Amino acid sequence: MDETEVTNVMYMEYLTLVKKIFPPENEKYSLIYFGTIPDTLVWRNRLGFNETMTNNYLRHPAYSDYLVVGVNCMQDNEFANWRTNRYNESILEKERFTKTDTKILDVDDETTFDTETYLALPTSIYGGKQQLTIGGALSQSLLKRKRTKNLDIQRIDGIFTPEYGLPTESQWENAATVEVGNRFTNNQLGQNKYSWTGSYIINEKRKVKGDQLANFKQGKGDYGGIAGWSDDSADIT
């Protein structure tokens, strides 16, 4: 599981790439892009005044590091699949198999990367364009030496990341369960006092020493802000 929730800026990266590959101006692709946009109407409430959030929350830079809202289960799964492909695609580029910056400069509706497609038939990604699929420095070096057997990565190599996805119920429970094997002396026999390693609610690491490790108020404080600051003027989440 990730250390933090998926933020607006993360999801906007996804929307930007989808819009580039499947431009909504093209009638046959319009439903693809609009189908990925979160439901911003979740902010509307008859007893509240959140109308400005329907227009600003997702895209305004002030909320870029806030968790994304209004995303349904299908959109979650599509985002996780996109993230898996982008991560594995970056690994291929980092290992110098594919052409540098292909994922940014050369992608379109017919030139895309999919992990499962690559594992099944490496030459079929990016529309089968060899200048992209084997355009990296390592691939070119191997070709010059006529060593064509190592031009691609297989699952057995252990380089690709496992698929991202929504956490299951048991994974959520495991994340919320205290670390039994790392317990400290306390009144809770057999488990930690908190869900992290340590006996205190403040961070002891040098760079962030004193920051709160839990998202709750201290003393007579309010609930504004996030873990780590007493109040960061977070007026929404």
Question: Are 142 and 183 within one domain?
Answer: no
Classify residue 76: in a domain, yes or no. yes
The per-residue b/e assignment along 141-161, b for 16 or more CB within 10 angstroms, e otherwise, is ebeeeeeeeebbbeeeeeebe
Question: Are 139 and 35 within one domain?
Answer: yes
Q: If you average pLDDT over residues 192-205, what whole number do you get?
A: 72
Question: Are 40 and 117 within one domain?
Answer: yes
Find the domain containing 107 and state its range: 8-157
Question: Are 130 and 42 within one domain?
Answer: yes
Q: What is the pLDDT of the chain when averaged over all its residues?
A: 77
Q: Which of 21-30, 31-40, 208-217 has the lowest mean pLDDT?
A: 208-217
Classify residue 216: in a domain, yes or no. yes
Classify residue 173: in a domain, yes or no. no
Question: Are 23 and 132 within one domain?
Answer: yes
Classify residue 1: in a domain, yes or no. no
Whether residue 148 is predicted with pLDDT greater than 80 in this model: the reply is no
Q: Which pLDDT does position 121 carry in this prediction?
A: 83
Whether residue 14 is predicted with pLDDT greater than 90 in this model: the reply is yes
As for how many domains the chain has, the answer is: 2
Question: Are 49 and 144 within one domain?
Answer: yes
Question: Are 101 and 189 within one domain?
Answer: no
Decide which of 148 and 82 is more confident.
Answer: 82
Q: Which pLDDT does position 12 carry in this prediction?
A: 95
Most confident of 59-68, 90-99, 189-198: 59-68
Classify residue 164: in a domain, yes or no. no
Classify residue 169: in a domain, yes or no. no
Question: Are 47 and 76 within one domain?
Answer: yes
Question: Are 31 and 134 within one domain?
Answer: yes
Question: Are 147 and 206 within one domain?
Answer: no
Whether residue 45 is predicted with pLDDT greater than 90 in this model: the reply is no
Would you state the torsion angle of the CA atoms of residues 140, 94, 151, 153, taken in this order, to the nearest 10 degrees?
Answer: 180
Q: Which of 157, 187, 216 is the last residue of a domain?
A: 157
Q: If you average pLDDT over residues 53-79, what whole number do you get?
A: 91
Q: Which pLDDT does position 187 carry in this prediction?
A: 52
Q: Which of 122, 157, 192 is the last residue of a domain?
A: 157
Q: Which pLDDT does position 140 carry in this prediction?
A: 63
Question: Are 149 and 69 within one domain?
Answer: yes
DSSP letter for each residue of 148-166 = GGGSS--GGG--SPPPP-P
Q: If you average pLDDT over residues 119-137, what whole number do you get?
A: 73
Whether residue 91 is predicted with pLDDT greater than 60 in this model: the reply is yes
Structure tokens, 128? 């089968």
Whether residue 236 is predicted with pLDDT greater than 80 in this model: the reply is no
Helix (H, G, I), strand (E, B) or coil at 126: helix
Query: In whole angstroms, what is the distance from residue 19 CA to residue 3 CA?
Result: 28
